[in-house]
Amino acid sequence: MLTINGLQKHYPDFDLDVSFNVPDGQIVGLIGRNGAGKSTTFQTILGLIQPDSGELKLFGHPLNTLTATDKAKIGATFPDSFFAETLTINALSKILAATYTTAFDATAFLHTAAQQQLPLNKPLRDFSTGMKAKVKLLVALSHQAQFLVLDEPTSGLDVVVRQEIIGLLQDYLAADESRSILISSHISSDLEQLADVIIMIDAGKIVLQEDTDVLLNDYGIIKVTADAFATLDKKQLIATRKTAYGYAGLTNQRQYYQENYPQLAIEKGSLDELLLLLTKEDDVQ
C-alpha cells in the first residue's frame, strides 16, 4: 500500500529521516513525543509538504504521479482541521457527492451518521468534541478510501467515543481486507487494540518497529536495584535508564530473563513505558 524509503525533510531545528511500509490489510500505529516527526511524516505522505529526498510510493506509484482518481482513494483526518461550522451533515453530504462523484454513497453516509447519533440538520458548531471527531472520520470513510491517514483521531475523547471510533475503523477494514490505515495516537491503549505494527519515532528517526503482538508478549521491563543491575547480563537489553529504586531495562527477550533471573521483577511493558525508555536521553546502556 505505502512504501517509504529514505524520506528526509530538513528544517533549521529538526531533521526527519524515516523508512517504513504500510502493507495491504494492516493498521500501522505511529507513536512518539510531540515534535518527534509524526505530523511531518503524515503531511509529506499527503503531499502537503515536499520532501527534500527519498522515495514514497502509494498504491504502487510514486507519490508525485498519483492521479485524481488515486488521490480520491485516500482518507485523512487531522486534530486541528474541521469543516465550516455553519454546515450541517445533510449539506456536507451534498458537497461530498459533488467532490467524489462515483465513490461517495450519500445514503450509506447519512445512515451511518444517524447510527452514530449525529443530527443531520444541526450546524456543526453545535456538535460536541466527540461528535465532531466522528464527523471527520465518517467523511474520511465515506468515499470508499483504500488508505487512511489518521493523525490523533481519538485525542481528547472519552472512552466511550474512543471505542465507537475504534469500532468504525475495525468495520472499515473488515469490509475490504486490502484496505490499510496509518494512525498516530498518544493513547497507547487504542493502538494496542487496533495496530498490527507499532513504529516508534523520536527526533525524526525510527527507534523501534515491531509487531504489536510481539511487543505485548515478548518485550518486558526489568526493574532492579543498582547492585542487581551491576551483575545483570545486559546483552539482551535494548535500553536502560536510572530510576529512584535503581534501574529499569527494556528487553525483547522477557522469557530469557524470567528463566535466568527468576528473582527479578520483570513486567510486560505498555507502549507508554516503552516510549519513555526508548526516547530517554540519559540512556546508560
Give residue for cell 450519500: 106
Q: Which amino acid is at 77?
A: T
Taken as a whole, the chain contains a residue count of 285
**Which pLDDT belongs to residue 282?**
43
CA distance 40 to 9: 8
Strands 147-151 and 74-77: parallel
Q: Could you read off the pLDDT of 118-155 as tens digits, one per residue?
A: 999 999 999 998 899 899 999 988 888 899 999 988 88
- DSSP, collapsed to helix, strand or coil, labels residue 33 as coil
- Which residues pair with residue 240 across a beta bridge? 249
**Which pLDDT belongs to residue 281?**
52
CA distance 24 to 47: 21
Please give the residue that has the higher pLDDT: either 11 or 278.
11
Domains in the chain: boundaries: 2-81+144-213, 219-278
> Could you count the other beta carbons within 10 Å of the beta carbon of residue 270?
16
Q: Is the pLDDT of residue 280 over 70?
A: no
Q: Could you read off the pLDDT of 169-182 as tens digits, one per residue?
A: 988 888 888 899 99
- Give CA separation, 144 vs 48, 135, 164, 234, in Å: 22, 15, 19, 49
Q: Roughly what angle, to the nearest 10 degrees, separates helices 89-99 and 129-141?
A: 20
Q: Read out DSSP for 61-110?
A: EEGGG--HHHHTTEEEE-TT----TT--HHHHHHHHHHHSTTT--HHHHH
Which listed CATH number (3.40.50.300, 3.90.100.10, 3.40.225.10, 3.30.200.20) goes with 2-81+144-213?
3.40.50.300
